[in-house]
A and B are shown apart, each in its own frame.
Chain A
Amino acid sequence: MSDKAAIDHKTWFTPFNAISGTIIIIGIVISILRFTVGLGAVTHLSDDNPWGLWIGFDLLVGVALAAGGYVTSAAVYLFGMKKFHSAVRPAVLTGFLGYSLVVFALTYDVGRPWRLPYPFIMQQGTTSLLFEVAGCVALYLTVLFLEFVPAPLEWLGFKKVRELAVKLTLPLTVLGVVLSTLHQSSLGALYLIAPSKLHPLWYSTYLPVFFFVSSIIAGLSMVIYESALSHHYFADKMDAAHLQESEGVTLGFGKAASLILAGYFTIKVMGIAGGDHWHLLGTPYGLWFLVEMIGFVALPSFLYAVGVRNKDVTLIKWTAAWTVLGIVINRLNVSLIAFNWHLPSARRYFPHWMEIATSVFIVTIGIVLFRFIVTRMPVFYEHPEYKD
């Protein structure tokens, strides 16, 4: 009896639990402050900088990095790349968790979160890009839920409902791609209304296309990166098919990411040419733009290509992490760093530590939920009773 208790205690108090527990406790305290005292108490948001880290990171980065769901399911179910099938469930799960957390984070950011359904039920501001984003995100969250629901249903043993959900795979995949195309691009289009505030190197009428194309890159890279992490931590949960296909997924997705990064680089250059902003490349902002373009677009495209040619899985995995970082930088550039560039430094924004802590808190919740689900439900393996 006492031995058992000791073992329980030992398994419960792991470094993972200790760190995530601390972050979650801090997060809860900040949440209480946010929802009782107000946004002013925990953020550095101002009248000049109405959107801070919670939009720049939690919304823009969150949605981009959750793109793996639609990218993978489209590859497998629409483009017929059946050899990537084992990558679908982890990607859809990440997508579903990612979008859930985006919506969760939005309740922190908007002034009156209980009114989030108002654009649909009260008055429709149809000319707003945000209306389009809100509608698509709400619908896509539902789609991701339905796409993922077979896993918990298999876990719980609800066969009939599961059959129904599986039948919907094709229409759901199509709808998922349509909705993702729309809202991934619209997140970029949000900034089209502010040409006077966003630095011309980042402002372009192509912004929606840039956001959409880079979301595919983000999705592919996240699938590779996550698969690398999952192999490290959850290898024991994976079945033979998953382990066997995994290298093929890494190589295939790496190839796709390399090609799309090259296309992305091309259209970004065309954006500069279209706006005739060549002369700005010599300015400090221009140098930072070149860092993004060469360091985080051209370089990973090349490294992915080298990795694919040499079948160097390790290089591809590191490149995936680097590319993900590049997407984070791009989204923060558009939303924070190059936004309000015309204002004097005293009126610029830098996040409050509690804003950063809240973002860390939300990411932590995602990791904890992911861990909870993959250790219980058939994500990395096919349920023996439901082999297709």
Chain B
Amino acid sequence: MSISRRRFLGWVGAAGMGSVVGKSALAAGNKHFDGYHESLGVLHDISLCVGCRSCEAACCKVNELPVPDKPFTDKHVLDEERRTTAEAYTVVNKYGVTGKIGPSFRKIQCNHCAEPACASACFVKAFKKTKTGAVTYDASVCVGCRYCMIACPFEIPAYEYNESFTPRVMKCTMCHPRITKGQLPGCVEGCPMEALTLGKREDLLKIARERIRKYPGKYIDHIYGETEMGGTNWLYLSNVPFSDIGMREDLGVTPAPELTSGALSVVPLVAGLWPVFLMGIYAISKRKEIVFKEELDEAAHSRTKEDI
């Protein structure tokens, strides 16, 4: 795999006509896509999170979302398990974990999948995996079918159901406008505990592995998001089992677009072969009819002969 990739990059390097060859090589089975190199991500170290909700407050501010009735300093909000909504791109939940003193906190937001389910599901290409790593949404083409919400395995996108004429899908953008300007995402900037780290995804994976190695026994030996659903740009490191803090461990490693690609690949075959098959059946039934008619005529003919 790596050889063919290197070879492919070599062809691209040869430029111009070389890329034509490169493309056909790429199309010839065993395609492999690594995603955008140097794309950004965020590492969330759950062991460091204290549930102060500063990230929520910062997110609300930089994204100009409506300010909730209960202030961000109100810790009672954490007593109830919440999910992202059209008014909150990110929420922090509190979990009691058996065998551990004190609660654990986990921040939820869009995980910015390497191969996003929302983008695969969207029939107007409103979602896009950008080279920064962020998965962005373009409300100007959105029809509002909400298939993205069905598709998202992390249950992130929310909808403005109470908006009568301009409802939008709402979700974290990894502060795409800010990171393209070189600023930190709101939540990362707002976190007082350094539980959130922005960096190149590849570097973050190294950092996470280094932390697991450095503090034996502290962390679960798994980086959530490294392989889940084909990998996400938001990564999680935890000192408690992921399933205990509401993170699904049964999502598998298959990127979302591959879940439907089998069914979709049959579509052109049906369009190409079904008419041939159906016309064949038509020809057979028509032929039968003609033979039947001929036999009928013949029978009638021989009978008239006998009569004579």
- Chain A residues near B (Cβ < 8 Å): 35-41, 43, 45-48, 50-51, 74, 77-80, 109-113, 115-116, 118-119, 122-125, 127-132, 134, 170, 174-175, 177-178, 181-182, 185-186, 189-197, 205, 207-208
Contacts and interface: CB of A to CB of B under 8 A. Distances in A.
Contacts of B158: 47
Given A47-B85, A48-B83, A193 B121 contact: yes
A50 B124 contact: no
Top 5 A-B residue pairs of the complex, sorted by shortest distance between their CB atoms? A111-B144, A80-B285, A40-B161, A50-B146, A40-B162
A178 B270 contact: yes
Interface in B257-303: 257, 259-264, 266-267, 270-271, 274-275, 278-279, 281-282, 285-286, 288-289
A115 B256 contact: no
Given A48-B83, A110-B145, A43 B161 contact: yes
B143 A129 contact: no
Nearest to B252: A195
A35 B147 contact: no
B97 to A, nearest CB: 19
B251 A116 contact: no
Contacts of B159: 45, 47, 50, 111
Nearest to B276: A174
Interface of B: 83-86, 117, 119-126, 141-147, 149-151, 153, 155, 157-168, 248, 250-252, 256-257, 259-264, 266-267, 270-271, 274-275, 278-279, 281-282, 285-286, 288-289
B121 A130 contact: yes
Contacts of B123: 119, 124-125, 128, 130-131, 134
B146 A51 contact: yes
A129 B264 contact: yes
A125 B257 CA distance: 12
B262 A80 contact: no
Given A38-B162, A181-B270, A196-B248, A79 B256 contact: no
Contacts of B263: 129, 185-186, 189, 192, 207-208
Nearest to B81: A344
A192 B260 CA distance: 6
Nearest to A131: B123
Contact of A132 (B167, B261, B262, B267): B267
A230 to B, nearest CB: 27
B125 A132 contact: no
B125 A123 contact: yes
Contacts of B163: 38, 111
B285 A78 contact: yes
A170 B271 contact: no
A33 B172 CA distance: 30
A193 B150 contact: yes
A112 B278 contact: no
B224 to A, nearest CB: 15
Contacts of A123: 124-126, 141
B143 A80 contact: no
Contacts of A185: 263, 266
Given A128-B121, A189-B260, A193-B150, 10 more contacts: A43-B161, A79-B285, A115-B141, A115-B142, A127-B264, A170-B282, A174-B275, A177-B274, A193-B256, A195-B252
Given A38-B161, A123-B141, A134-B123, A112 B167 contact: yes
Given A118-B124, A125-B125, A130-B147, A208 B155 contact: no
Contacts of B150: 50-51, 190-191, 193-194, 197
Given A80-B289, A119-B124, A178-B275, A111 B149 contact: no
B259 to A, nearest CB: 5
Nearest to A127: B120
B141 A47 contact: no
B143 A112 contact: yes
Contact of B149 (A50, A124, A195, A196): A50
Contacts of B164: 35-38
Residue from B149, B164, B167, B279 with most neighbouring chain A CB atoms (10 Å): B164
